[in-house]
Each structure stands twice: as C-alpha cells, then as structure tokens.
C-alpha cells in the first residue's frame, strides 16, 4: 500500500471514509479521535461552554443592519430604536425584540475584500496562505479542551462541508458536515446486519494490526478509534439530537422553514445535546443592486432565525453558557447609488449573544459615514481570540504546526474583553 496518502490530512480523511463506506456502508466522518491527546489547559473565564457561529457568506451591509446611518450613507431601510437604547434597521424587526440580549460590535476592520479570502479569514481568524490551512474555533477547542461528548462530535458544520475545518490539526478534528438540516445525519445506520458488521470490524482489526506496525504514524493510531466511536454513535440515543423532526411544528415555524432557519434550530439541539461548536452558514449575502430585495428576503430569514435562536436559548436557560456569534465576510460601502453597495472591509459589524457577553450593548463604533472603524477596532483575529477566551482557551499559548511554525488561536489577536459583563 502507498503510505504517502497518510501524510496529508485530507488524503488521510478520504482514506478512512472509503474504508468506512466499504466496511459498513457509512459516510460518518472521523471526528472523535484524538481526544486523549488534547491539552487540558484553560484560560480566559470559560463561561461559554458551547459556541454557535453563524456565517453570513457574501458580505452583510453593516449600514443596513446593525449600524444604521443617516445622510448620504443611508440605505433603503429606516433606523429603529430598541429597548436596549441603540438602533438597528427596519430590516431586522425580530432582532429588535431581542436587542436587550445581544452585543453588537460595530468596529470590525479588515484588509481583505475578496469573497473567498475574506470568508476564510472570518472562519479561521487567519489570512489565507497557499502553504498552510488554519483551524476553525472548533478544532482549537478540541485541541485545548478535549472532546465535548463521549458519543457526539465536538464540532458540526451545518449547510457547509467539513473542508479544512481541522486546519493543521489531525483530520479527526474536522467538523461533522450536515448539508441538509431536514435530513439530519445521513447514512448513520449500517447497510449490513450487526453480525456481519461485527465480523468486518474484527477482520479490519486483524489487517490493521500488521499495518500499524509497518506505519508508525500517530494519525494511523488515531483512526483506530474511528470505528469504535462510530459504532457507539450509531447505537446511541444521542443520535436523536440530529433529528429536528422531533421538534413541534410551531417551534420549527418560529425559526423559519428554510435551510438557515432549520440549521439554527439544529444547532440549538446539538449544543443542548453536548456538541461544543456548531457553525451554521447562510449564503446569498453578496448584495449589490439587489440590496433592498436581498435584505427583505435573505435578511428576513436571518432576522427570524437569529431572534428565535437567542430567545429559545434564553428560555431554556442555555444562553448564559452558550455564545452565539454572527460573522460576515466584510461590510458594504457607505455610498448608496444605482450600483448599490460594493465590498468594504474597513468597517463592518458582528454580533455576540450569551456566553458572558453583555446584554443590550454596543462595542466600538464606525465613523459618521460608516466608512472606517473609529473606536475600539476589532480585527478578525481579535474576534476569534475573544470567542476562544470566552470558551476558556489559552489564546497566548503557541501550537507548533507540522510545518514547524508557531500559531495561536486568533493569530495573536487580542480578546475584546470589554464585550463581557
């Protein structure tokens, strides 16, 4: 066998997936292994036991959402006052109702205004480089805090593939992908009887014994846990966390009957069940001329689902220990004309709710036009460091990647401690 396949994380991942599919008819990914090697060190205040990270892919206009302006920068929406004392736009009527439960960061600032690179930056906290892939918060959490559940994965990606989620960490730190919230965890049952599956497991163990001796690689040893933990999950009642059909119709309606809304509902079920990190993606935010229609359509889906998620977590007593973070690739230009708003990374907004973040609070500001971050600027690296600090990770501790280079969560970013109570 060509052992070179085991040197690259993505190739190792493909190798194990094929083995699982051939042996058991499974497409569950190897997300459990490596927990034993995790560093059990904490930092920060660690109040955020669970993290839901919402990615608005394409670039949310800060001026038409969380940072409304007047004058030449004003968009098609109007400013609406909230009971928290700050204003949002009329495109977010449901979020207005939960404004007293969230922190809005209006001073995000970056230098990347190209979609793919900006998306990578906001997902990892690092600028994209051709020589290395950086981890998401979920992988950092698994490294520093260990596995969050004996049966469920520590990280899940909803409406998004698992690609590169582990970064330079072992492929077993990759998030479990759920591409369709309605379908839940697809192919979670073996296509062969238990007796036949047991025989195949025994045969694989025999084959693996000699192979492991000839290839002394820690990733090979880590993948040995994959089969056991996969079988554990298949037989566990924890699988029910992936089934949003168990929710009442009125609850599902409250979140919105679309992939993003149901993805947010699934995220709530997963963190409630023991998953530490869930990222939920929403596409279609690259709004130029279609800004008004886009904010009414896509913005309406977000508004409904985000407000429902925050209110639901709060009602269940989970918001104080669950940090919900809303990110986007960049903001939009203050100029609003016939061409709409173009890409603008110099000022944009993100949101935090729960997990120790202040309620009804605005952190930082942009200038009068919304062109540039003014007070307390926050970089994408700072944003990731802030989340990691809230989760109890040592944000200043360096990890040496396989390339020999040192990295910290958030790329040496500074936690914006002012957002926490």
pLDDT in tens, 11-64: 545 545 445 444 444 444 444 444 433 443 335 578 999 999 999 999 999 999
3-state secondary structure of 98: coil
Lowest-confidence pick of 38-47, 210-219, 326-335, 353-362: 38-47
Q: Answer whether residue 317 shows pLDDT above 70.
A: yes
Of the listed ranges 148-162, 180-194, 316-330, 393-407, the least confidently predicted one is 180-194
In whole angstroms, what is the distance from residue 298 CA to residue 285 CA?
A: 7
Average the pLDDT over each of 15-24, 62-71, 252-261, 336-345 and give the range with the smallest value. Answer: 15-24
72: confidence class by pLDDT, cuts 50, 70, 90: confident
Nearest to 43 by CA among 352, 326, 363, 409: 409
Mean pLDDT score, 391-399: 95
More confident: 126 or 228: 126
Q: Which residue, 347, 409, 368, is CA-closest to 124?
A: 409
Q: What is the residue extent of each domain of the chain?
A: 1-30+186-242, 36-184+247-419
324 is written with which tokens? 């919900």
Q: Please answer whether residues 126 and 409 qualify as being in contact, where contact means their C-beta atoms are separated by less than 8 angstroms.
A: no
Q: What is the mean pLDDT of the chain?
A: 86
- Concatenated DSSP letters of 160-180: S--TTTTTTS-GGGSPEEES-
Q: What CATH number belongs to 36-184+247-419?
A: 3.40.720.10
d(CA 161, CA 177): 5
Q: Which residues contact residue 203 at a Cβ distance below 8 angstroms, ignoring those fewer than 6 apart?
A: none
From the list 339, 332, 323, 341, the residue with the least C-alpha distance to 366 is 332
Whether residue 323 is predicted with pLDDT greater than 90 in this model: the reply is yes
Of 212 and 135, which is predicted with more confidence? 135
How does strand 348-353 pair with strand 102-108?
A: antiparallel
Q: What is the pLDDT of residue 339?
A: 76
Sign of CA dihedral 220, 225, 178, 102: negative
Task: Answer whether residue 393 shows pLDDT above 80.
Answer: yes
Q: What is the pLDDT of residue 37?
A: 39
- The reported pLDDT for the residue numbered 213 is 63
**Counts of helices then strands in the chain (DSSP H, E):** 10, 16
Q: b or e along 196-206 (b: 16 or more beta carbons within 10 Å of the residue's beta carbon)? A: ebeebeeebee
CA–CA dist 334, 319 (Å, integer): 34
Of the candidates 242, 389, 384, 248, the one whose C-alpha atom is nearest the C-alpha of residue 308 is 248
Model confidence at 164, pLDDT cuts 50, 70, 90, reads confident
Rounded CA separation 323/50 (Å) = 6
Residue 396 pLDDT > 80, yes or no? yes
pLDDT at 288: 87
Name the band, by pLDDT with cuts 50, 70 and 90, for residue 187: low
DSSP H/E element including 121? helix 115-124
């Amino acid at each position: 066998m060509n052992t070179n396949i085991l040197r690259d994380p993505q190739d190792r991942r493909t190798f194990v997936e094929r083995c699982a599919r051939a042996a058991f008819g499974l497409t569950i990914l190897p997300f459990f292994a490596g927990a034993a090697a995790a560093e059990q060190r904490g930092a920060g205040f660690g109040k955020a036991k669970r993290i839901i990270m919402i990615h608005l892919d394409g670039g949310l206009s800060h001026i038409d959402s969380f940072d409304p302006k007047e004058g030449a920068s004003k968009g098609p929406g109007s400013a609406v006052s909230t009971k928290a004392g700050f204003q949002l736009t009329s495109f977010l009527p449901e979020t207005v109702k939960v404004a007293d439960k969230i922190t809005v960061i209006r001073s995000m600032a970056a230098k990347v205004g190209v979609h793919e690179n900006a998306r990578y930056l906001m997902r990892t906290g690092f600028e994209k480089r051709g020589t290395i892939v950086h981890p998401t918060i979920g992988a950092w959490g698994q490294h520093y805090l260990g596995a969050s559940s004996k049966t469920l994965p520590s990280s899940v990606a909803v409406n998004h593939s698992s690609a590169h989620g582990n970064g330079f960490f072992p492929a077993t730190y990759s998030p479990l992908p759920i591409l369709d919230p309605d379908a839940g965890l697809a192919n979670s049952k073996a296509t062969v009887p238990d007796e036949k599956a047991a025989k195949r497991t025994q045969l694989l163990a025999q084959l693996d014994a000699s192979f492991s001796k000839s290839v002394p690689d820690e990733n090979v040893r880590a993948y040995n846990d994959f089969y056991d933990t996969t079988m554990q999950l298949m037989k566990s009642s924890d699988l029910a966390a992936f089934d949003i059909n168990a929710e009442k119709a009125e609850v599902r309606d409250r979140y919105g009957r679309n992939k993003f809304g149901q993805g947010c509902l699934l995220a709530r079920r997963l963190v409630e069940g023991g998953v530490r990190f869930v990222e939920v993606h929403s596409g279609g935010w690259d709004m130029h001329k279609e800004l008004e229609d886009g904010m009414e359509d896509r913005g309406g889906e977000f508004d409904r689902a985000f407000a429902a998620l925050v209110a639901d977590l709060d009602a269940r007593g989970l918001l104080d220990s669950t940090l919900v973070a809303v990110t986007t690739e960049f903001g939009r230009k203050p100029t609003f004309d016939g061409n709409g708003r173009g890409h603008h990374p110099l000022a944009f907004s993100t949101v935090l709710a729960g997990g120790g973040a202040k309620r009804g609070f605005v952190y930082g500001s942009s200038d009068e036009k919304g062109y540039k971050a003014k007070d307390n600027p926050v970089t994408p690296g700072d944003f990731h460091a802030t989340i990691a600090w809230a989760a109890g990770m040592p944000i200043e501790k360096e990890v040496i990647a396989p390339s020999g280079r040192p990295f910290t969560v958030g790329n040496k970013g500074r936690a914006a401690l002012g957002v926490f109570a």
